[in-house]
Amino acid sequence: MKRWFSVFIISIFAIAAVSLVVVQLIQTRRTFSISDNMFSVSVGNAMEEVIKQLDSDKPYNSANFSYQDLDSLIVEELIINGIDMHPVIGVYDGSQGSFLYSSNPRHEDDLEYSPYRYSFRPQGVVSSSQYFIILSFPDAELFLQRNPNLYLYMSIFLLLIIAVMFILSLRTIANQRKLDQMKNEFINNMTHEIKTPISTISLACEMLSDETISQDNASRANFINIVADENQRMRLLVETILQSAKMGNKNFSMNPKEVDFNALTDKVLTSFKLTLANRGGSVERHLDATPSIVIADELHMTNLIYNLVDNGIKYSTGAPHIVVSTAIEGKHFVIRVQDHGIGIAKADQKHIFEKFYRVSTGNVHNVKGFGIGLNYVAQVVRLHHGHIALESEPGQGSTFIVSLPLKA
């Protein structure tokens, strides 16, 4: 995905998310104020009815009046008006400045400051005292769910979940695109890599079928060398691609047995004789490990050494000089493949074992490849419970160090 497009999408999402929270907040506040008003109106209606009844049916000063009756009357009227709550109820004598009754003395302070205050005249007579019935609703907050922060936090939390999902989707899309691009590059490279040796081989065969050339021993040998060289290149290519694909399969199994590593390394190095001769290069062997028997899969180990040496040659400018050594270090068999080629920058070293990764700086890639060789090597090492390390300086060369446990 293009960078500017991602930034554009993320900005739109961020603006939409913030706007959503603001709209939600405004809406919530509006709802609260409407429900607050409705609550006050309902309490007012209920109390109007209570006072009407107090003034007529159950005179406040009559002998059969009790505050319990007052409580039940108020609760009853509140329920009729849609408020299913039990308020704190107080009867206040305004002229004395004290409560004559309060249903919960602990809440007298609340009563004093409550806005739900209704004056009444006992028996409808204007008395010298001013009486008030005061109600307080300590549970009103819960009843009205008046806590706007709760809604805000919930909205933010949900938005965060959506944002995380959004980012994950963006990343998946970006990864998919990268993978697609890698796949295309891989197919392009592979076509090129396979086409070149095929045309070289067919050209060499054509030359060999020409009688004037086939009778000249030196030319004949030269063309046979070219065919053998190109053939070896294709073999490694096909082998690496096949084995690498097989490793992704969960039914993949290895075939470990006793392998003489010094002999194996020697065999692989010998097969590079022609390639090295063609480029005027050389290989130095220090196969000093004794004993050199390791329990390993012979085919994968052959490919491993092959890949490392092949890279050493590929990424050397001029005549390649490769040094291969084996040694026993502690409980490990260690093989080092050193070249004096272009080297690998620190930033690339971290990624070098990733599938399809190729160094893209400089003009490294007049050398063709797929970026799967080192990933395959790393997987082989991992399957053998070993370890691979890289020491490299750009312009100086690289050393790949593979250590394998002597006892698998």
Tell me if 312 contacts ligand ADP by CB under 6 A.
yes
Dist CA 132 CA 150 (whole Å): 36
Tell me if 374 contacts ligand ADP by CB under 6 A.
yes
User: What's the min distance (Å) between Cβ of 182 and ligand ADP?
Assistant: 12
Tell me if 268 contacts ligand ADP by CB under 6 A.
no
User: What's the min distance (Å) between Cβ of 363 and ligand ADP?
Assistant: 11
* Pure H helices in 210-253: 211-214, 217-247
Tell me if 304 contacts ligand ADP by CB under 6 A.
no
Pick between residue 333 and residue 400 the one whose CB is nearest to ligand ADP.
Answer: 400
Interface residue with ligand ADP, options 90, 197, 320, 373 (CB under 6 A): 373
H/E stretch holding 203 reads helix 148-209
User: What's the min distance (Å) between Cβ of 352 and ligand ADP?
Assistant: 5
Dist CA 235 CA 321 (whole Å): 23
Interface residue with ligand ADP, options 81, 155, 265, 311 (CB under 6 A): 311
- In which residue are the tokens 């999408």 written? 9
Tell me if 313 contacts ligand ADP by CB under 6 A.
no
Identify the CA nearest to 159 among candidates 29, 28, 18, 23: 18
Tell me if 359 contacts ligand ADP by CB under 6 A.
yes
Tell me if 364 contacts ligand ADP by CB under 6 A.
yes
Could you give the C-alpha distances from 295 to 221, 264, 388, in angstroms and in order?
Answer: 39, 13, 17
Interface residue with ligand ADP, options 136, 243, 292, 398 (CB under 6 A): 398
Q: What is the CA radius of gyration of the chain?
A: 44
Interface residue with ligand ADP, options 116, 370, 379, 381 (CB under 6 A): 370
* Tokens, residue 181: 């691009």
Partners of 328 in the beta sheet?
Answer: 333
Amino acid of residue 191: T
Tell me if 369 contacts ligand ADP by CB under 6 A.
yes
Q: Kindly list the residues in this chain that would bind ligand ADP in the complex (CB under 6 A).
A: 311-312, 315, 339, 341-344, 352, 357-359, 364, 369-375, 398
